Amino acid sequence: MGRRRPGGPTLEEVAARAGVGRGTVSRVINNAPGVRGSTREAVRRAIAELGYVPNLAARSLAGRRADAVALVMTETDWRLFGEPFFSEVVRAVGDALTDTGMQLLLTLIRSETERQRFVEYARGGRVDGVLLMSVRAQDPLPDMLADAGLPTVLLGRRTGEECVTYVDADNVGGARSAVSHLLDSGRGTIATITGPLDMYVAQCRLRGYREALRRAGVADEPSLVVEGDFTEESGRRAMAELIERHPGIDGVFAASDTTAAGALTALRAAGRRVPDDVGVVGFDDFLLAQNTDPKLTTVRQPVDEIGRAMVRLLEEEMEEPAVAWRHVILRTELVLRDSA
């Protein structure tokens, strides 16, 4: 029998033998809930076959964890928390945390003082990891948390060169499919109402709009682009402005369902029929999309999958920081209803 190398088998070797992630192995070792019986048995078999001995010091430290995760929203405008996007993300993350035994803490950061205060709070061991959403382009908070050694996962990203671990939807591809649908249905003058363009998600959806036009050989007319802020009121105002600029407009891609709902209100006020005169497509596919008149054709974000992926990546970061940042982009789907 060969000599076992110093240190013995690692957690990664057990995970590879069992065909699972490190976080799953850790949950089995600590008898945590949320692991299928067959998976639990495969991990135990791998532990026995490899002769793995858990690091008792690490387990002792794990026992002193806060068992809490902070979901941090960096947004200065309180009105935006009334938008469906925020409540849907909170629900999805909460559902994903159900079987982990960890408490979800919601935190709002609106200023530099609050940013510094939260970093100190998190560094004090009061949370085991941080989920960030609504992060703008120049926000230093993800880097501050990473420098402090705090496991952190972003929903979305600040730029195309984001280095911190993130989960995102395919915003470019989703927007491209929305505008392509309008083009394929014979629309010739298609506008877009964007989100706030200091957010990368809004930039990506605008890029998808432009890519679809370019692929169809349609000129990109700057006056057909109006910036909004993902709210219903911004959609109403932007749509009224677009009707005034381009009376012959016959298609609109709105960067969120709430923005699209505002556009529908403005079109109705102007006597334009949807979809007969103007086709409208949104982005998100929250419950709102099924309650507009007409029901909204939209791009579905896989919010439940986003929540699960964020929690899974955070657990892995908490268990053992990876050498590389992990970037996950989830597919979107065009959902056809009555507005286009």
The mean pLDDT value of the chain amounts to 87
Instruction: Kindly list the strands in the beta sheet with 129-133, ordered across the sheet, starting from the edge strand earlier in the chain.
Output: 103-109, 68-74, 129-133, 152-155, 166-169, 327-330
Q: Is the pLDDT score of 57 beyond 50?
A: no
CATH code given to domain 171-300: 3.40.50.2300
Domain 68-169+303-330 has CATH 3.40.50.300: no
Same fold, 11-63 and 68-169+303-330: no
User: pLDDT per residue over 84-119, tens digit each?
Assistant: 888 888 999 999 988 777 889 998 888 889 989 998
Structure confidence at residue 257 (pLDDT): 96
Please name which of 72, 152, 133 lies closest in space to residue 105, comparing C-alpha atoms.
72
Structure confidence at residue 81 (pLDDT): 60
The residue ranking higher by pLDDT, 149 or 183, is: 183
- Domain extent listing, the chain: 11-63, 68-169+303-330, 171-300
Which range is least confidently modeled, 21-35, 170-184, 265-279? 21-35
The CA-based angle 339-201-335, given to 5 degrees, is 25
User: pLDDT per residue over 1-51, tens digit each?
Assistant: 333 344 567 778 888 999 988 778 877 876 666 678 888 889 889 888 888
The residue ranking higher by pLDDT, 4 or 192, is: 192
Q: Is the pLDDT score of 185 beyond 90?
A: yes
Pairing mode, strands 129-133 and 103-109: unpaired
Average pLDDT over residues 135-160: 88
Structure confidence at residue 124 (pLDDT): 82
Fold observed for domain 11-63: 434 Repressor (Amino-terminal Domain) (1.10.260)
pTM: predicted TM-score of the whole model, two decimal places: 0.78
**What pLDDT band is residue 326 in, cutting at 50, 70 and 90?**
confident
Structure confidence at residue 4 (pLDDT): 39
Residues 172, 208 contacting (CB under 8 angstroms)? yes
Contacts of 290 (CB under 8 A, 6+ apart): 296, 337
